[in-house]
Amino acid sequence: MIRSMIKIEPKPAPTQTAPRPTVRQSEGDLRLMAIPRLAAAGKWRVEAMRSLSEPLLLWFTKGQGRITIGGVTRGYSTHTAVFIPAGVMHGFEVGPQVFGTAVYFGRDPGLPLPKIPHLLRIRETQAQQEVNITLDMIQRELHAETPAHERAARAHLGLLGVWLERQIVKAAPEQIKPDAAKRLVTRYTALMEREVRSGAGVADLAAALGVTTTHLTRCCKQGCGKSALALLQDRRIFEARKMLAETDMPVSKVGAELGFASAAYFTRAFQNLTGTSPTAFRRLQ
């Protein structure tokens, strides 16, 4: 049951945070992390569907896997750059052979960054070297104690933004425009982000989008291999795991905050997806 009638209108993106960095920057600030460390506190932190309140650039230098952005799954491999704007739902695989760097731009980067996601395969050696050098300079300045090191890091971040813009322009002729099914899934995940705590079900979201649940599920399976319900549950249970791991909120209240009709329904949904109860999950954190 939903708590209120859904209205498709702009709302602030849900506040999410990135994994805690090892350097002194706080969450929401500019910071870099090695991609393998993103899953150090649990693979669910990167593989489950979630969004961030800041732009993210993933630069993969080794390995391969799949990444789902806005309900559409694609493969990534060595020398793949993935840009994800704030508020866009995503999740990706991090296998033992995957290496690279995650760049968290901070909540107010002050840069002209893309408004939509991009997955770019960087084939030119010079472009690969450019981004590696830029990332190294950002990291070096973030760790430095020299005067104006933070301003220098921001300057290099600006160069990273320029590099990204140039690679997007180069890749434009090769990009395939999403079809109607993928556009619908993208709209669905965006609506889901806005309604993640409302208790809205798939039928409610489908109705708000003007389609049937059957059609929506068919498009979701086409886009990422998951049903509309699986995407929704994955997103809501990620939020639940995060709240259980990072707050002292009672389990029953966590379920209520996410719109579950009862504590029993929340526990059952959580256990079906994670294999453990909310209480047991919290004890392991």
* Separation between Cα atoms, residue 258 and residue 238, nearest integer Å: 11
Closest of 10, 9, 14 to residue 197, by C-alpha: 14
Mean pLDDT over each residue of the chain, to the nearest integer: 91
Instruction: Give residue for tokens 């993210």.
Output: 56
Using the predicted structure, report yes or no on whether residue 47 has a pLDDT greater than 60.
yes
Using the predicted structure, report yes or no on whether residue 18 has a pLDDT greater than 70.
no
Written as six digits, the tokens of 91 are 């999740």
Closest of 98, 97, 60, 66 to residue 82, by C-alpha: 60
Phi/psi at 83 (5° precision): -105, 130
List, for residues 72-82, the tens digit of each pLDDT value.
999 999 999 99
Query: Average pLDDT for residues 231-254, to the nearest whole number?
Result: 96
Give pLDDT, residue 174: 85
Using the predicted structure, report yes or no on whether residue 25 has a pLDDT greater than 90.
no
Q: State in words which class domain 31-174 has.
A: mainly beta
Query: Average pLDDT for residues 5-18, to the nearest whole number?
Result: 44
pLDDT band at 16 (very low <50, low <70, confident <90, very high): very low
Phi/psi at 84 (5° precision): -125, 115
Could you tell me which CATH number the domain at 180-284 has? 1.10.10.60
* Separation between Cα atoms, residue 39 and residue 19, nearest integer Å: 8
Closest of 10, 5, 70 to residue 208, by C-alpha: 5
Buried b (16+ CB within 10 A) or exposed e, 218-248: bbbbebbebbbebbbbbbbbbbbbbbbeeee
Query: Average pLDDT for residues 89-106, to the nearest whole number?
Result: 96
Give pLDDT, residue 27: 65
List, for residues 131-182, the tens digit of each pLDDT value.
999 999 999 999 999 999 999 999 999 999 999 999 999 999 988 889 999 9
Give pLDDT, residue 26: 57
Domain boundaries of the chain, sorted by first residue: 31-174, 180-284
List, for residues 181-230, the tens digit of each pLDDT value.
999 999 999 999 999 999 999 999 999 999 999 999 999 999 999 999 99
Using the predicted structure, report yes or no on whether residue 280 has a pLDDT greater than 50.
yes
